[in-house]
Amino acid sequence: MAIPDYQTLMLPLLRLATDSREHRYRDAVEQLASEFRLTDAERAELLPSGTAPIFDNRVGWARTYLKQAGLLSSPKRGMFQITEAGRALLDTKPARINIALLEQYPTFVAFKARRKDKGDLEPKPKVASGEAASDETPEDALAEAYKTLRRNLESELLDQVRSASPAFFERLVIDLLVGMGYGGSRQDAGRAIGRSGDEGIDGIIKEDKLGLDAIYVQAKRWEATVGRPDIQKFAGALQGQRANKGVFITTSTFSRDAEEYVNAINSKIILIDGERLAGLMIDHNVGVAPVGVYELKRVDSDYFEGA
């Protein structure tokens, strides 16, 4: 099943504490993961920042909101316990706990007001579910905003690449490969790649700075889909160069036959289409410049050890 949102996790988390005992947060994460029958892949899925698993993060926000509403308390670090208000709420047998319900508690309303005063990220309203607040945690909302900005940047970047001259595209490929750690120095890569023709470039670059192995490169600034015949021709060129590794870069796309072909041959050929090319350019800072950095922080538990 899909990873549950943080509002869906609120009621199961509160129910875990019905025995009034102190519960370890980490144990609760494991119990809820089992209850929702999450797969290993779902448990391992990380936030875009790579700082924490998505599921763990959502359980953490469910706990935070329940605490701010006064339904849970934290008797000590890493522990939580149900309060009288929490037990009273469970006695009403709610079908679901969500933000709209928590807004009945003055402490939670005050918490939201403090966040707004400080300019904290607020979930966007979502009316499709019939609830007043989104199922997104602040990290979810930030991740979605990042994905949207990145998709737009990739599209804009690819438009620029497609409209560039063949000579500029040649330099771009050199910059990208060197930025990724291939080709040795830029000067070495520039000498190895440069046989222009057919609106693309062909050449052999070093796999590492020492030149222990070579990679054959072909790049096509095309609009049309690159098909299997083009890849077969490239594979033949590899054999002619006594090479078994190649990278085929295009500003367009590859056909399914072309992708299936590279998986069936002995030579290792990596296909990089326009979308992936734009993504790699962003990842390796080729043709892009940063406009802002947002640093996310968390409480340093080690600092408070023994407090």
pTM over 0.85? The answer is: no
CA 79 to centroid of chain Cα atoms: 30
If residue 152 lies in a helix (H) or strand (E), which one and from where to where?
Answer: helix 138-163
Q: Establish how many alpha carbons lie within 13 A of residue 219's alpha carbon, considering only the half-sphere containing its beta carbon.
A: 27
* Mean pLDDT per 10-residue segment, the chain (307 residues): 92 95 95 96 86 90 94 90 97 96 94 67 41 67 83 89 85 86 69 50 70 81 90 86 85 95 91 95 92 75 65
Give per-residue pLDDT as tens, 159-207. 889 888 887 887 888 889 888 888 766 666 665 565 544 444 567 777 7
Are 28 and 59 in contact by the 8 Å Cβ rule? The answer is yes
Q: Are 107 and 66 in contact (CB under 8 A)?
A: no
Question: What counts of helices (H) and strands (E) characterise the chain?
Answer: 13, 8
Q: Which of 57, 69, 78 is nearest to 5 (CA)?
A: 57
Helix axis angle, 256-264 to 228-240, nearest 10°: 30
Q: Which domains does the chain have, with CATH numbers?
A: 6-136 (1.10.10.10), 159-283 (3.40.1340.10)
Q: pLDDT per residue over 102-139, tens digit each?
A: 999 999 998 888 766 555 544 443 433 344 446 778 88
Contacts of 22-30 spanning 24+ positions with Cβ under 8 A: 22/75, 22/76, 22/79, 22/80, 22/81, 23/79, 23/80, 23/81, 24/78, 24/79, 25/59, 25/60, 25/63, 25/78, 25/79, 25/80, 26/78, 28/59, 28/63, 28/80, 29/55, 29/56, 29/59
Total Cβ atoms within 10 A of residue 150? 14
